[in-house]
Amino acid sequence: MEGRLIEAARGRVVAALAARFRDLDLAEEAFAEAAASAVEAWRRDFPDDPPAWLWRTACRKALDAVRRANTRKNAVHDAPPPEPTPEDAMIAADQPIPDERLRLIFVCCHPALDPAARIALTLKIVLGLSTDRLARAFLVAEPAMLQRITRAKQKIAVAGVPFEIPGPAAWPERLDAVLSTLEVAYAQAYEDAALTTETAAAFAPEVLRLSGLLADLLPGEPEVLALAALIRFAEARRPARLDDTGAMVPLSLQEPHLWRGDRIAEGAQLLDRAADLARPGPRQILAAIHGAHLSRQETGVTPWGDIARLYDALVMQRPGPVSEVNRAVAYAEAYDPDTGLRAFNAIPPQPTWLPWQAARAWLLDQTGQRAAAASAYDAALALGPPPAERLYLDRQRRRLG
Amino acid sequence: MQYMILIYEPESAFEGEVGERRLTDVVAKHMALAGELTAAGIQKNGAGLQPVHTATTVVTDASGAQTLHDGPFAETHEQLGGYYLIEVADLDAALAIAKRVPVAPGGKVEVRPLIVY
């Protein structure tokens, strides 16, 4: 029970410590020391408010560490014990733990940091995931993950990344860095989760949690709410994404009764709140596309016309091959396969990119070009898709003979 | 905090008739920015550098022996062409200034914190 209480308090306490001392390492170390002493101290005298106890104790540990470091730096020997500072007084006065998690998310997702390090650092500092767990989630060796995190922390400290909520001028760029960090991380977790390893699957719920936390902290930002909605919609489909043989099931062929109604409801509620704020953005469109697919659970049909129009809007806001390939597929469903293939052929070829090859194979198949479709499936399979997708593509290929 | 803003540009961007006009334009913008930053107490120092064909590099080998080379330390597409030394609160403030530094097309601006001794 102590362990769970400590873990539950970690994110908030570490964030508050980091914000006060402007030092991520110090915050983590002080929290670890406080947690270690909690086990013994709580056995003797269980506190009324365990998180507050951890916060006060960790603050004292951090202050001690700062003083020790200053003493070493100033090389004052036999110095008298320091006088209590206003900070000591503040800690003693039972101040509530300030919620600094948003500030820390902005620090950890700063656009000046290596994109690959941002999400790992955020999950570590804000949610308290261990380096070992992060290494497994991101499919890298633990020393490599440790180095990634250490470098990012050093850059934050040495380059002067501010520990402030960004001001209005920097807000759009900084918020976008936070959102794209989560978005990229979730896309990775989404792929890995269904299609490769079990360890990686455990990582998607953490990004879901983080997106929910961000939506709680920034309820007035429609793109934040939309991202949280999007992740919930995608997670709702998880139970339907593989068939009994372990092969991927494309969204339009999934069994709607397997989709999680609770996640769909949460996502829909978040997306409604985003829409009420009346500031459209690409993540709202994406979430609406996911939501439209999920409406099949209620209506029994996929509203392909709506989805194609939503993709038109998405391509305007977020041009690029990802949006355009998906739009071509939606066109084939909403209008006819030839329209889809024409839209696809207008996209610059990306032969080494699996979604491009897979979409091309499917479109050629739909338009009755069996031989061309077969060789496109071969090209897709040659790119080394993850196991579930390989099974699906292989089945499609063999059907064509 | 103090930051060095290092400006890297392809020198070829300032060659020829188009390059000459571009140079005049970029220098005027540098003057305006430097004037503003100095007046605000932000800029501590700064300069443009002569082209890399004027550079001389002192190379010290593992034994400590030194030789001179004509040219910059590394032959790259973009060359270090100038710098600003500024003092601001944090990286965001430094980056905001770095984004205002005028550069030729293809130019890159690097922001490095200074070591404080």
Residue A128 pLDDT > 90, yes or no?
no
Whether residues A160 and B90 touch (CB distance < 8 A) is answered with: yes
The pLDDT-based confidence of A379 (bands split at 50, 70, 90) is very high
**Mean per-residue pLDDT, A278-307:** 97
For chain A, list residues whose CB is within 8 angstroms of any CB belonging to chain B. 110, 112, 158-162, 164, 166, 169-170, 174
Residue A197 pLDDT > 80, yes or no?
no
pLDDT at position A253, please?
94
Q: How far is CA A172 from the centre of its chain?
A: 18
pLDDT at position B71, please?
86
pLDDT at position A36, please?
94
- Cβ atoms A180, A286 nearer than 8 A: no
CB within 8 Å of A399: residues ≥ 6 apart: none
Residues of B in contact with A164 (CB under 8 A): 90
The pLDDT-based confidence of A204 (bands split at 50, 70, 90) is confident
pLDDT at position A194, please?
52
Identify the CA nearest to A128 among candidates A8, A241, A245.
A8
What are the tens digits of pLDDT across the range A52-111?
999 999 999 999 999 988 877 776 555 555 555 656 555 544 567 888 999 999 999 999
What are the tens digits of pLDDT across the range A362-378?
999 999 999 999 999 99
* pTM listed for this prediction: 0.83
Identify the CA nearest to A262 among candidates A295, A237, A236.
A236
The pLDDT-based confidence of A193 (bands split at 50, 70, 90) is very low
- Cβ atoms B109, B103 nearer than 8 A: yes
What are the tens digits of pLDDT across the range A258-280?
999 999 999 999 999 999 999 99
Sign of the CA dihedral running A313, A317, A320, A326: negative
Residues of chain B with pLDDT under 70: none
CB atoms within 10 A of CB A352: 10
More confident residue, A138 or A4: A4
pLDDT at position A149, please?
95
- Cβ atoms B83, B7 nearer than 8 A: yes
Mutation for testing the A interface, residue in B1, B4, B91, B112 having most A CBs under 10 Å = B91
Whether residues B113 and A162 touch (CB distance < 8 A) is answered with: no
- Give the three-state DSSP class for B33: helix
**Mean per-residue pLDDT, A207-220:** 93
Alpha-carbon gap, residue A157 to A112, rounded angstroms: 12
Give me A242's structure tokens.
Answer: 């593989």
Whether residues A170 and B92 touch (CB distance < 8 A) is answered with: yes
Q: For chain A, what is the largest distance between any 2 Cα atoms, rounded to a whole number of angstroms?
A: 88
- Cβ atoms A255, A240 nearer than 8 A: yes
B7–chain A nearest CA distance, Å: 17
What are the tens digits of pLDDT across the range A318-348?
999 999 999 999 999 999 999 999 999 999 9
Q: What is the dihedral of CA B92, B96, B102, B108, to 10 degrees?
A: 30
**All domains in chain B, ordered by first residue:** 2-113 (3.30.70.1060)
A vs B: CB pairs below 8 A: 28
Q: Does B114 touch chain A (CB under 8 A)?
A: no
Residue A291 pLDDT > 80, yes or no?
yes
Helix locations, A202-320, DSSP H: 204-217, 222-236, 261-276, 282-294, 296-299, 304-317
Mean pLDDT (chain A, rounded): 89
**Mean per-residue pLDDT, A230-250:** 92
Q: Strand order of the sheet with strand B108-113?
A: B43-48, B79-87, B2-9, B108-113
The pLDDT-based confidence of A196 (bands split at 50, 70, 90) is low
Alpha-carbon gap, residue A109 to A103, rounded angstroms: 10
- Does the interface ipTM go beyond 0.85? no
Alpha-carbon gap, residue B114 to B101, rounded angstroms: 19
The pLDDT-based confidence of A127 (bands split at 50, 70, 90) is confident
Residue A176 pLDDT > 50, yes or no?
yes
**Mean per-residue pLDDT, A157-164:** 92
